[in-house]
């Protein structure tokens, strides 16, 4: 049985570069994480690709998700790969075009805590997804997503709130995602068994 720990669990077939992984995190097979943060208790399963993104705690990212995909330089005479990854084509081109990749870094993605991103979703550069939000399978996020909002479709559009605004605000104040590991364990029966309002009443939110 798989058991997560303070040490991140990274599949041998995954690629992680210039990325910070938090405690109890997991990176699935054939997933690539570049210049990103995957904070405590978050995971991404197989075949994902994430660049220049900060993901909060308790993120649940399904298979084949793309976050902050690169754009091609459409304004140039050629938008092809060789113009910015020339080192793959000519031995005297020892470095790729730094300025081109700086464009992606200049449009990072920010994802809050306890966010669920469904199978095959795409989050475009520069977007923010608020805490508690849900991105439906196959959705393409072209605009920011408010906290505790469910979005679906292409382009992604809100379909409903997970909770009414007053409940969402109380959850944001409670910030249970910042609890320590033992407090989470003690509250596990309440996460499982109580409705959200009863949970907030019991835990002071």
What amino acid positions are annotated as catalytic residues? 72
Q: Can you state the percent helix, strand and coil of the chain, rounding each to 5?
A: 25, 25, 55
Q: How far apart are CA 66 and CA 58, in angstroms?
A: 18
- 72 touches 88 (CB < 8 A): no
Q: Which of 135, 124, 165, 159 lies closest to 59, judged by CA? A: 135
Q: Token match 């990274």: residue? A: 10
The per-residue DSSP string of 4-34 comes to: --SS-EE-TT-EEES-EE-TT-EE-TT-EEE
The beta strands (E) that lie in the chain are given as 9-10, 15-17, 20-21, 26-27, 32-34, 37-38, 43-44, 49-51, 53-55, 60-61, 66-67, 109-111, 116-117, 122-123, 128-129, 134-135, 140-141, 149-152, 157-161
- 29 touches 43 (CB < 8 A): no
């Amino acid at each position: 049985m798989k058991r997560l720990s303070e040490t991140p669990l990274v599949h041998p077939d995954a690629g992680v570069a210039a990325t910070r992984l938090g405690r109890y995190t997991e990176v699935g097979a054939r997933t690539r994480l570049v210049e990103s943060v995957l904070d405590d208790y978050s995971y991404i399963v197989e075949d994902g690709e994430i660049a220049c993104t900060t993901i909060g705690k308790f993120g649940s990212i399904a298979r084949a998700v793309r976050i902050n995909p690169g754009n091609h330089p459409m304004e140039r005479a050629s938008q092809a790969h060789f113009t910015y990854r020339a080192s793959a084509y000519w031995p005297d081109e020892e470095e790729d075009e730094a300025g081109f990749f700086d464009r992606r870094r200049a449009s990072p993605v920010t994802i809050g805590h306890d966010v669920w991103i469904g199978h095959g979703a795409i989050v475009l550069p520069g977007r923010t997804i608020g805490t508690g939000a849900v991105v439906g399978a196959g959705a393409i996020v072209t605009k920011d997503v408010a906290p505790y909002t469910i979005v679906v479709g292409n382009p992604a559009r809100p379909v409903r709130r997970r909770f009414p605004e007053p409940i969402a605000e109380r959850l944001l104040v409670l910030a249970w995602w910042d609890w320590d590991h033992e407090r989470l364990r003690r509250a596990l029966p309440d996460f499982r068994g109580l409705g959200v309002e009863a949970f907030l009443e019991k835990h002071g939110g």
